[in-house]
Chains A and B, each alone.
Chain A
Amino acid sequence: MNNLISHSYLILLFPLLSFVINGLFLCFKHRKAAAILSTSLSGLGAIFAIFLVVQFFISGAKPLTAWEFEFLSFSGNLIATIGCLLDPLSAMMILTVSLIAFVVHIYSIGYMQDDLSSGRFFALLSLFVFSMLGLVIATNIFQTFIFWELVGVSSYLLIGFWYNKPSAVAASKQAFILTRFADSFFLLGIILLSYIAKSFVFSDINSLRLENFAGQMISLGIIEIPTNDALVLSTLLIFIGGWGKSAMFPLHIWLPNAMEGPTPVSSIIHSATMVVAGVYLVARLFPLFAISGNVLEIVMIVGTITMLFAAIIACTQKDIKRILAYSTLSQLGYMMLALGSAKLIDGSVHTLGYTAATFHIFTHAFFKCMLFLIAGALIHQVHTNDLDAMGGLRKKMPWTYIASLIACLAIAGIPPFSGFYSKDEILITAYQAGHPIIFACALFTSFLTAFYMFRLFFLAFHGKMRSAPKHPVHESLLMTLPILLLVIPTIFAGFSFKNIFHHFFTPENITAISHNIPDVSFIPPLAICCAVLGIIFSYILYASPKANLVKALDSDNRNTFYKTIYNKFYFDEIYYTFVRQFILGGLASFARFLEEKIIGSLVNFFTTIIHKAGSLVRSAHCGYIPFYIGVMILGVLFWYFASNLPLQGA
């Protein structure tokens, strides 16, 4: 039975093969063949992943390195390897990524069938799956970084897939630059951490202890600081990498704009898998974060702000993909909050947050992916992203309607759907951590989540159609089937996997300190109440017979508060102003001043001298023959007299 684990390189090989074959041979001419090849290989990958993960858990779920080879050797001890680490966390991610990749591939066949460049799409999608899988199985932080950048590149390429659309190009550039900005800190963190830990490998990093460095100093070139502080600093820098990738506030603006890409891309990259990489990174290095001072509290605060902020914005948006994007942000905030609140007020570390966050990654991936696929199906039929133009699709798309009802219930946190279980754990974590304000925020966000999801649901499916569709609306099999496939994990991933997560998902090297656990039995009913309240609220506003939809959808005649939220707190504008004023106006103009005035004038000075000397010489070349002869005669005379001058000192 160990065969499967020793063949675990196959999970990387399938998507890589698909990328290479599609990218080199099938991309331009045989787009149908590319779709079939990509989908079947990702199907094989998904089946293999299921068997692999099942076998891994059956054989006891002991962390192990399945294979490893040397990639770069920096110095004697510091060797970067590429390998495959199997532990419960990476196994969970392998399963999630492979399954969702397969489903999205099927869906893409239907979604992209009219697109002439769908061959390129499948090639890039395979590249993404390859890089994401490489990221989750990384044995060391260096490998993580390599694949981290690869997912960034494939995300960039896929957001800008429709490169003839200026907004898509702008969004892809924005996403790439913002994540790169965060990644530069990540790289600094890796350098500093490997300098302290003398290793890249996760198991070495996670077994670091602050006590071992007590009293030591480390030189950072200019200054010398205690090693403990340097360790905390490197952890913070690494978290900034995850901050950008998971689009936490205030680096969040690239994620809603990334919705310019094709919907399957938004579904797999910008909701289910890539954006949780930041959360995954924190979870992977959890023991390091746990010992590093207040970094976990920063994680918690950042998560809380993002969660609340994004949920508020989502309540007012009209573009269905943007609502889902903000919802993703909000859920990512939940996960960060769960990880961050693992550190209790008295300083001890509790592992429930880790379990809750990883559990939420797992459940969220399925229902959010499904919601995006539903949004894609709606867009494909109605040809608009705008909720203004939808409505009344319930009868025309019955299967999609049922599926989206389930997904909305799941994300709102209604039992027995999966979202309830994971969100519940997060709420319990927040409560136990002893941060009442953060617990209240999480509870309020749970209300908002139910509200905006059902707002979308009612506006899209209930009422009357608010625009005349160009084509008759129907459901296509290739796009409905994947949605229905995802219903299964959306319903069952919650209660059936809860115990698995509780049993296996505790970070290594962390000893949970037993203490007085406050009574949490009141939290699940409270959370359900909040969610139901949200649903009722949105029913009254958007779906009840008395609801005034014209007024509810009006975004012009509103008060300032509503408009501020509708315009996303003007964050896009703030960024653009910042970029224009500070980067283009300040830094760039300073650089331009240096370039033009100092370097340029130096160069100009020399060219002027050479030019002047040249024109002096040139003036002798007047083309007047007697002048030449005269100069020649003078020259001869000069040499005659010069040779007779007593210059040699006799």
Chain B
Amino acid sequence: MTLLHCLILAFILFTIGIFGVLTNRHLIGMLISIEIMLNAANINFVAFAYFKAQDPTAGTLFSIFSIAITACEMAVALAILIAMYRKHHSLDVNTQEINHE
């Protein structure tokens, strides 16, 4: 297992994430795709830290930070989605219309 393998894995995950964001119509699906992209970035962090850094602790710590922040972010995003669902009874992006009230 080399750095290149890790980078390819991260790249594949990131591409899957982008593909998911662009094609998914459901907001929760898009949220999951974004999560995948973030994980690809985390893998890069860890991989660079493991293979290249003098002191791998810093890179690992950063990825833990980023996972924690992502969890908070997702909690907020889910809360918003629930609020939207209560209002519109749907989370389909195609049928979402901005309600000017």
The interface stretch among B17-25, B40-48, B50-58, B62-70 is B17-25
A629 touches B22 (CB 8 A): yes
Q: Cα distance A360–B15 when bound, in Å?
A: 108
Within the complex, the shortest CB–CB distance from B17 to chain A, in Å, comes to 11
B21 touches A624 (CB 8 A): no
Q: Cα distance A624–B25 when bound, in Å?
A: 10
A623 touches B22 (CB 8 A): no
A591 near B: Cβ within 8 Å? no
A624 touches B93 (CB 8 A): yes
Q: Cα distance A81–B22 when bound, in Å?
A: 85
A626 touches B97 (CB 8 A): no
| A633 interface neighbour in B18, B24, B93, Cβ under 8 Å | B18
Query: Residues of A within 8 Å of B, CB-based: how many?
Result: 7
Question: Which residue on chain A has the smallest CB distance to residue B98?
Answer: A623
Q: Which residues of A contact B23 (CB under 8 A)?
A: 626
B94 near A: Cβ within 8 Å? yes
A630 touches B22 (CB 8 A): yes
Give the residues from 1 to 56 in chain B that come closer than 8 angstroms, CB to CB, to chain A.
18, 21-25, 30
Question: Which residue on chain A has the smallest CB distance to residue B20?
Answer: A626
B98 touches A626 (CB 8 A): no
Question: Which residue on chain A has the smallest CB distance to residue B94?
Answer: A624
Q: Which residues of B contact A630 (CB under 8 A)?
A: 22
Q: Cα distance A249–B76 when bound, in Å?
A: 92
Question: Which residue on chain A has the smallest CB distance to residue B34?
Answer: A629
Question: Which residue on chain B has the smallest CB distance to residue A629?
Answer: B21
Q: How many A-B residue pairs have CB under 8 A?
A: 19
B99 near A: Cβ within 8 Å? no
Question: Which residue on chain B has the smallest CB distance to residue A626?
Answer: B22
Q: Cα distance A633–B30 when bound, in Å?
A: 15
Q: Cα distance A578–B20 when bound, in Å?
A: 78
A625 near B: Cβ within 8 Å? yes
Q: Is the interface of A mostly helix, strand, loop or mixed?
A: helix
Q: Cα distance A402–B22 when bound, in Å?
A: 107
A626 touches B93 (CB 8 A): yes
Within the complex, the shortest CB–CB distance from A474 to chain B, in Å, comes to 77
Question: Which residue on chain B has the smallest CB distance to residue A632?
Answer: B21
Within the complex, the shortest CB–CB distance from B68 to chain A, in Å, comes to 25
A623 touches B21 (CB 8 A): no
Query: Residues of B within 8 Å of A, CB-based: how many?
Result: 12
Q: Cα distance A629–B97 when bound, in Å?
A: 17
Q: Which residues of B contact A623 (CB under 8 A)?
A: 96-98
Q: Which residues of A contact B21 (CB under 8 A)?
A: 626, 629
Within the complex, the shortest CB–CB distance from B78 to chain A, in Å, comes to 17
Q: Which residues of B contact A624 (CB under 8 A)?
A: 93-94
Q: Which residues of A contact B22 (CB under 8 A)?
A: 626, 629-630
Q: Cα distance A630–B25 when bound, in Å?
A: 13
B18 touches A625 (CB 8 A): no
Q: Which residues of A contact B98 (CB under 8 A)?
A: 623
Q: Which residues of B contact A626 (CB under 8 A)?
A: 21-25, 30, 93
Q: Which residues of B contact A625 (CB under 8 A)?
A: 30, 93, 96
Within the complex, the shortest CB–CB distance from A633 to chain B, in Å, comes to 6
Which of A624, A625, A630, A633 is most buried by chain B, counting CB atoms within 10 A of its CB? A625
Within the complex, the shortest CB–CB distance from A624 to chain B, in Å, comes to 7
Q: Which residues of A contact B18 (CB under 8 A)?
A: 633
Question: Which residue on chain B has the smallest CB distance to residue A633?
Answer: B18
Q: Which residues of B contact A633 (CB under 8 A)?
A: 18
Q: Cα distance A473–B25 when bound, in Å?
A: 96
Within the complex, the shortest CB–CB distance from A436 to chain B, in Å, comes to 92
Question: Which residue on chain A has the smallest CB distance to residue B18?
Answer: A633
Within the complex, the shortest CB–CB distance from A409 to chain B, in Å, comes to 87
Within the complex, the shortest CB–CB distance from A382 to chain B, in Å, comes to 71
Question: Which residue on chain A has the smallest CB distance to residue B93?
Answer: A625
Give the residues from 612 to 645 in chain A that come closer than 8 angstroms, CB to CB, to chain B.
623-626, 629-630, 633
Within the complex, the shortest CB–CB distance from B94 to chain A, in Å, comes to 7
Q: Cα distance A626–B25 when bound, in Å?
A: 8
Q: Which residues of A contact B94 (CB under 8 A)?
A: 624
Q: Which residues of A contact B93 (CB under 8 A)?
A: 624-626
Q: Which residues of A contact B96 (CB under 8 A)?
A: 623, 625
Within the complex, the shortest CB–CB distance from A449 to chain B, in Å, comes to 82
Q: Cα distance A430–B97 when bound, in Å?
A: 94
Within the complex, the shortest CB–CB distance from A623 to chain B, in Å, comes to 7
Within the complex, the shortest CB–CB distance from B40 to chain A, in Å, comes to 14
Within the complex, the shortest CB–CB distance from B10 to chain A, in Å, comes to 16
6 pairs, CB–CB < 8 Å, chain A vs chain B: A623-B96, A625-B30, A626-B25, A626-B30, A626-B93, A630-B22
B residues near A (Cβ < 8 Å) are 18, 21-25, 30, 93-94, 96-98
For the complex of A and B, list the 8 residue pairs with the smallest distance between their C-beta atoms, beginning with the closest: A625-B93, A626-B22, A630-B22, A629-B21, A633-B18, A629-B22, A626-B93, A626-B21
Supplied contacts A624-B94, A625-B30, A626-B24, 8 more A-B pairs, CB within 8 Å? A623-B97, A623-B98, A624-B93, A626-B21, A626-B22, A626-B23, A626-B30, A633-B18
